[in-house]
Amino acid sequence: MKSFKIRSFVVFGLMMALGAACLGMIIRLGIAEGAMSNGTGSKVLDTTDSSYVPSPSDSVFKCFVMNNNLSPIRGEIYDDHGRLLVGNFTVFEVAFDGLRFANEYKDTLSKDPKAFDELFTSLSKALFAQFKDRYPKYTESYYYDFFTQAVQKKKYRTLFAVKEGDEKSWVSGSDTAYIKHLSCWTMKKQKRKIHSHLNYVSTSVRINPYGDIARRTLGMNVEGKRYGMEYFLDQLLAGQQGSKKFLRLNRTVVPLKDRVEPMDGYNLHTTIDAEIQNYVHNELALKLSELGAHWGCAIVMETQTGEIKAISNLKRDANGHYDESMEYAFNAKVEPGSTFKLASLLCFLEKRSDDTTCTYPMFAHTFKYPLKSGNYRSYYKQDSKVRGEALGTVSEIIQRSSNIGVASMIFDAYGMKNFSSYRKQLIKLGIMDTIHTQLGDILPATIRNDGRFDNYYGVCFGAGFNIPILHTLVYYNAIANNGKMVAPLFVKYVTNNYDTIQRFEAEVLNEQLVSPVNVEKAKNYLKNVVWGPYGTGRRYKDSTCRFAGKTGTRDIWDPVRKGYDYDHNAVSFCGYFPLDTPKYTMIIYIYYVPQHSEVAVDAFARIARAMMNRSNFSAMRKSEEMPFNPNIGSYPVNSRYFNTLFRTIGYDTTLLVGEGRFLAPLRDTSTTIGHNVWSPSPQGAVPDVRHMIASDAIGELARAGYKARITGRGLVKTQTLDPATRTVLLELEPR
């Protein structure tokens, strides 16, 4: 008994000591080590602090506060009707864990290696069949070697990596489902389904539902490919990263309370109209392919708002296909050619008000450049095979697109030795300004302040300098917009999931580019290019699609041999439509073709016609209201629907309830409908249902105990009875 008490006291004492120790440890952890558990204190290194700089002394710490970034969802891009142009799509990286596979099936691999040989052979065939189009270099033997070597070397290897810029190689959710449900995973000799040990790591990538259409404008923002909306408006699309801090002690990870939720990116609602973009892309690609051109660019701008409705930049690849691999609208270094004659015409009109009475040489002329000595240096220029210095009016010069004629106009208005004055007038037109847009800057024309004759002469008709294609469109649009010059607009507004965050309007660059009188004169000259008797675009005039503009043909400069290639041209056409009330301004530019500017006019006309034929284009055209007078037939109408039918289309009816099952409408006045009661007259024992609609005819026959079979569409024309089956054949015809 005594020994029992002693043992009890010992146990009790030990328990009390243990309890005291635990209590002390709790107090210590709660007070002394509390700071560590919260991620603070002298023994904790906070690597998330903005002032933290890695150093060798970090090795003395065992406890670290670290940050786990939480990625936001990137905003999506829509067209002006809310159709998705760029969205998010989940794809998968597929990898094989050869180490875990080898360890798990170590015994089976040594006893029955053929079973796994059969597995990898079947798996290789299945993967080759599924991915041969996306990974043409991966053969069946490649897949077999991949799996066997991963197991033999016990390595974790990636089979399909995610390449954001290569949509054709993406592995989707349907692909992973296909792999997971392959029958080859069930091994016959093992009589069980083994785990595949294929790991699927999901990631979000950007997808363009419309494929290559407007790809260059919509853009990308991945390593080595940064352009377009995705790049220039990345701050709006990207959102803000969130973070979740955690405490790492040795290999233990403890979440902390500090958490910042990510803010998803905003959605961009662009000015692009997917339907117009489709017209432009397809027509341009068709024309480039037909001509074998190196590249081409087409841009459609809404005249009053400056909104870019479509923009295509197509380049021919090594296989002869055209895709959006370059940004020509902003960056192409090309001479504008004769489309620049509109700028020279405006400069001329601002100096001379007697343009309708002026005449100038058109086909050939000897220009006499005055020298300081009082003598002249002669420069003979010839535009065509026509000999002699025939004179023409300004209208005829613009229609024929005469280089000599336009240069003569400018020399007359500004003087042959006063290039600087002419250049200052071009500056007033905004041609020498940088235009800032949401997708970057449109650079100015590279017109040097060089008064030498050849430079002065060439600038008059768009030779010897470069100007971005989009810059040309901007000042043409100003003429279509009655002199008001606006900058191109690509994004209309920005939204989140709940509200509109920001709206954009085009910047007004110049309220009145030139005087209103000269705007109207310029419009008339551009009209004559298509509708005049000598116009270079007259072949494509169409009364159902009236447009105006200016053609351009320019020899291509070869920087290697430092001379022009006279066998190939850069051709263009810039104009607007409809002619009387411009809604859109468009430019077509095609590079490296043997033809002249007519091919660009053809592409312009095709696109304009397609746009004007759209169902919603009727709102853009004025038409007189037709008088209300819908066609009313005399066919019978079920009385249940009589009032509803005719009142819906604007008539008053006099029908009273219970006047008959079928009624024949009669027009009493232009706004009222009367009726006669109509009953199916018997044809033998069969009701006469001729002139009735099919549903009513079938109902009447069913009431009389007959079946019906119909052919055609519309009203019942004839009926034929089959007595054996009591079936009536009804032949229908349109009303």
pLDDT for 178-230, tens place per residue? 888 876 666 554 444 555 678 888 888 888 888 888 999 999 888 888 999 99
Least confident of 102-106, 273-277, 446-450, 498-502: 102-106
Q: Which of 530, 561, 588 is the last residue of a domain?
A: 588
**Residue 39, domain member (yes or no):** no
Residue 438's CATH number: 3.40.710.10
pLDDT tens digits along 129-188:
889 888 999 999 999 999 888 888 888 899 999 887 777 888 888 888 888 887 666 655
pTM: 0.73
**Residue 606, domain member (yes or no):** no
Q: What's 170's DSSP letter?
A: -
pLDDT tens digits along 391-415:
999 999 999 999 999 999 999 999 9
Mean pLDDT within 463-477: 96
What would the two tokens of residue 274 be? 């997917």
**Residue 13, domain member (yes or no):** no
In a shared domain, residues 287 and 154: no
In a shared domain, residues 165 and 209: yes
Mean pLDDT within 568-582: 96
At 625, is the pLDDT very low, low, confident or very high (cuts 50, 70, 90)?
A: very low
> Is the per-residue pLDDT at 692 higher than 90?
no
pLDDT at 227: 92
Q: d(Cα 120, Cα 102) in Å, to the nearest integer? A: 13
Looking at per-residue confidence, does 124 or 723 come out higher? 124
What would the two tokens of residue 118 be? 């059969």
pLDDT at 519: 97
In a shared domain, residues 355 and 322: yes
467 in helix, strand or coil? Answer: coil
pLDDT at 152: 85
Residue 122's CATH number: 3.90.1310
Least confident of 66-80, 314-328, 383-397, 454-468: 383-397
Domain count, the chain: 3
Contact 301, 309 (CB under 8 A): yes
Q: d(Cα 216, Cα 234) in Å, to the nearest integer? A: 15
In degrees rounded to 5, what are phi and psi of residue 627?
A: -65, 150
Q: d(Cα 702, Cα 120) in Å, to the nearest integer? A: 67
pLDDT at 706: 80
Least confident of 13-22, 29-38, 444-453: 29-38
**Residue 612, domain member (yes or no):** no
The number of C-alpha atoms within 13 Å of 424 and in the hemisphere containing its C-beta is 7
CA geometry: angle 285, 288, 290, nearest 5 deg: 105
51 Cβ partners below 8 Å, 6+ apart?
none
Q: Over the chain, what is the mean pLDDT?
A: 84
At 479, is the pLDDT very low, low, confident or very high (cuts 50, 70, 90)?
A: very high
pLDDT at 99: 85
In a shared domain, residues 489 and 343: yes
In a shared domain, residues 238 and 321: no
Least confident of 99-103, 486-490, 627-631, 696-700: 627-631
Q: Which amino acid is at 303?
A: T
Q: d(Cα 407, Cα 347) in Å, to the nearest integer? A: 12
Mean pLDDT within 7-36: 69
Q: Which of 233, 260, 287 is the last residue of a domain?
A: 260
> Is the per-residue pLDDT at 560 higher than 90?
no
376 Cβ partners below 8 Å, 6+ apart?
368, 369, 370
In a shared domain, residues 304 and 236: no
Name the nearest CA neighbour of 509 among 619, 425, 427, 404: 427
In a shared domain, residues 580 and 646: no
In a shared domain, residues 303 and 256: no
**Residue 47, domain member (yes or no):** no
> Is the per-residue pLDDT at 245 higher than 90?
no
- Which residues pair with residue 316 across a beta bridge? 322
Least confident of 41-45, 459-463, 723-727: 41-45
Q: d(Cα 373, Cα 56) in Å, to the nearest integer? A: 81
pLDDT at 405: 95
pLDDT at 11: 76
In a shared domain, residues 112 and 209: yes
231 in helix, strand or coil? Answer: helix
The domain of 480 spans 279-588
Q: d(Cα 174, Cα 91) in Å, to the nearest integer? A: 10
**Residue 160, domain member (yes or no):** yes
Measured CA to CA in angstroms, residue 433 lies from 332, 337, 414, 436, 468 at distances of 17, 19, 22, 10, 12
> Is the per-residue pLDDT at 606 higher than 50?
yes
- Which residues pair with residue 720 across a beta bridge? 729
Q: d(Cα 322, Cα 289) in Å, to the nearest integer? A: 8
Looking at per-residue confidence, does 527 or 619 come out higher? 527
Q: What's 58's DSSP letter?
A: G
**Residue 50, domain member (yes or no):** no
Q: 289 exposed, middle or buried (CB, 10 Å; 0-12, 13-18, 19+)?
A: middle
Q: d(Cα 14, Cα 475) in Å, to the nearest integer? A: 96
Mean pLDDT within 713-732: 81
**Residue 4, domain member (yes or no):** no
Q: Percent of the chain beyond pLDDT 70? A: 80
At 678, is the pLDDT very low, low, confident or very high (cuts 50, 70, 90)?
A: low
In a shared domain, residues 331 and 184: no
Q: 493 exposed, middle or buried (CB, 10 Å; 0-12, 13-18, 19+)?
A: middle
191 in helix, strand or coil? Answer: coil
pLDDT at 622: 40
In a shared domain, residues 184 and 305: no
- Hey, how many other C-beta atoms are within 10 angstroms of the C-beta on 339? 30
At 123, is the pLDDT very low, low, confident or very high (cuts 50, 70, 90)?
A: confident
Cα–chain center distance at 29: 60
Least confident of 145-154, 276-285, 706-715: 706-715
pLDDT tens digits along 71-105:
888 999 999 999 999 999 889 999 988 888 888 77
In a shared domain, residues 97 and 175: yes
Name the nearest CA neighbour of 89 among 157, 182, 175, 178: 175
Q: d(Cα 470, Cα 433) in Å, to the nearest integer? A: 13
Beta-strand relationship, 727-733 and 707-711? parallel
pLDDT at 122: 85
Contact 733, 717 (CB under 8 A): yes
Q: Percent of the chain beyond pLDDT 90? A: 46
Phi-psi region of 651 (alpha: psi -120 to 50; beta: other; left: phi over 0): beta
Q: d(Cα 228, Cα 295) in Å, to the nearest integer? A: 19
Q: Which of 549, 568, 588 is the last residue of a domain?
A: 588
